[in-house]
Structure 1
């Protein structure tokens, strides 16, 4: 931060309206989803995607992996994802570092995201230390508190290599002891033994805190902590091998999407040729399929790589914040989660 004074009055005006995260228990989306199944276009796609997610929940042999990329957590879906963990509706999470650190852990520390009721010049926002995600604001000074908390956690741990899953578990433990939000995904995942993987973990506020941890340790001539991305891949593949039947609920694309799909190929490389492709798959995305990029690759394309089955899959081309509340509320109220066995996959690494 610079020494330039911040206009606190103007900053308070812009950060006056908090984002309120949707509560999927407060409304029953089953009637509207049932009606959308009888429509066409994206409505029918969402109806089928919801049916597939309910199939995953009803299948006693299916481990469900929630895959999150993008900014839906900051935009109002944070409590939605937390409820999926709390109600045993997901067994494993693969996400971007921003989703887990800059958004969920950030709010777990007591900070908030804000609606941008007006968007002034972004240089003005910078002068006020306000970060913008489309029409959502984050207080940069609060985000730096998140950075330094990550640094504090790293300094408290044995200086060795950790998978992102192992480090995020320590973050969850920290929130249990010091957090200010009960409904935090990171905290609940720790309490319910649901592992969280961030294959690009340092591409987030965690990166700043961990770099400071390493630089300070190097200056002092001391050993330091590192994040082992290979261990991430190995551990997630180990879950896939042990789980057998799996289903994917994917929001967005990017690295998390490819990472979870690649576990099938990795298992084969390790000699487990009997490991099945992901049986169920739903992806909600706005990525254009024409540019050949990984984030826009369809589930059908992934089948050619031996990653997913084409039998029970559905692409939904929509902004996830507008359709995930319907899908999740429908599944919550149909109640298949009530009889699901808890997998507790995080416990296999303890």
Structure 2
């Protein structure tokens, strides 16, 4: 049996080694986490190079506080991503930074009661001053006042919001400028969503989620091929998955980076191959599950893909 198998080659590191070269070594190893990272790099490279493929990025978690914002912006700017589906939290933290506020390196080994007294919010080991919400509210009220009184879908609302973002290094702004469809099905579950609700108590603004659902389904239906990249899982992942379920072409490429487990039956830990049973993933698709902290895997994979695409 072993005559038909590839040997495990041991990873060799070198001085001033690029991420691309390191991933090549991981590919030669071909097993465990290293092998999965290498395969994910290849699958993402393939879906980007495939001109018939529409690439969806499902972005969960706290990737902006986790230092991943610029990577996401570069993926959008460089044309890797055709459709973004994200949590409202990522957009809220993106907007907070665009308004001149910052996230800070903290620690999880601290009294949360002390942080509460100092009005500091904690996201594991990331600190954020609570005062950011005052600036967020002021900005949102100003922008909301300019928005149309007619009902908008969330995508249109986020584009209008993104156009007003003062800094260029913003996920919201780049999506607005490049007209990249940006869906946030759980927008109400976020700081921006709270601002919309608060504004609605005294003013007229209507944002509907159901028009977005039709739009993302239309995209999956009209695409020659579909490819998905899931950072985490949750609502962003399932929103894309349900759009793929009834499309004539299920996903031809898929990469998932998550730390969640499949045994509980939740979307965040569900293996990609489970989607084959639902018709969400093609039986012959190129796919890989990477069980890893996304703040470790994503920078390495994106740097290696960028290096390959520039050759």
- How many Å separate the matches in 2 of 1:34 and 1:147? 47
2:157 equivalent among 153, 167, 170: 167
Partner of 1:238: 218
TM-superposed CA distance for 1:144, in Å, is: 3.2
Cα distance 1:127–1:90, how it changes in 2: closer, same or farther (>3 A)?
A: same
Partner of 2:4: none
Partner of 2:280: 307
Partner of 1:286: 259
Maintained 8 Å contact 2:226/2:251: yes
Cα distance 1:48–1:316, how it changes in 2: closer, same or farther (>3 A)?
A: same
- How many Å separate the matches in 2 of 1:160 and 1:225? 7
TM-superposed CA distance for 1:232, in Å, is: 1.4
CA shift digits 1:43-97 (9 cap, x unpaired): 1011101100000111111111111001122111100000011111111100000
CA shift digits 1:204-253 (9 cap, x unpaired): 11122111111112xxxxxx222211111111112222223111011000
Maintained 8 Å contact 1:82/1:183: yes
- How many Å separate the matches in 2 of 1:132 and 1:309? 40
Maintained 8 Å contact 1:155/1:213: no
More helix per residue: 1
Partner of 2:54: 63
Maintained 8 Å contact 1:280/1:312: yes
- How many Å separate the matches in 1 of 2:245 and 2:108? 47
TM-score (norm 1): 0.80
CA shift digits 1:146-178 (9 cap, x unpaired): 234223322221223222111110111101xxx
Residue 32 of structure 1 pairs with residue 22 of structure 2 = yes
- How many Å separate the matches in 1 of 2:274 and 2:68? 28
Partner of 2:10: none
- How many Å separate the matches in 2 of 1:144 and 1:123? 22
Aligned residue pairs, count: 294
Partner of 2:307: 333
Residue 251 of structure 1 pairs with residue 231 of structure 2 = yes
Partner of 2:271: 298
Residue 261 of structure 1 pairs with residue 241 of structure 2 = yes
CA shift digits 1:17-47 (9 cap, x unpaired): xxxxxxxxxx941001111112221110111
**Does the residue aligned with 2:192 lie in a helix, a strand or coil?**
helix
**Does the residue aligned with 1:67 lie in a helix, a strand or coil?**
strand
Maintained 8 Å contact 1:161/1:227: yes
**Does the residue aligned with 1:124 lie in a helix, a strand or coil?**
helix
**Does the residue aligned with 2:273 lie in a helix, a strand or coil?**
helix
- How many Å separate the matches in 1 of 2:266 and 2:70? 30
- How many Å separate the matches in 2 of 1:316 and 1:147? 38
- How many Å separate the matches in 2 of 1:99 and 1:188? 14
CA shift digits 1:86-130 (9 cap, x unpaired): 1111111000000112x1111111111110057431111112111
Residue 47 of structure 1 pairs with residue 45 of structure 2 = no
List gaps (5 residues or longer) in structure 1.
Answer: 1-26, 218-223, 268-274, 339-350
1:1-350 alignment, distance < 5 Å: 28-39=18-29, 40-101=31-92, 103-117=93-107, 119-175=109-165, 179=166, 181-217=167-203, 224-267=204-247, 275-310=248-283, 311-335=285-309
- How many Å separate the matches in 2 of 1:232 and 1:56? 24
**Does the residue aligned with 2:51 lie in a helix, a strand or coil?**
coil
- How many Å separate the matches in 1 of 2:134 and 2:109? 22
TM-superposed CA distance for 1:266, in Å, is: 4.7
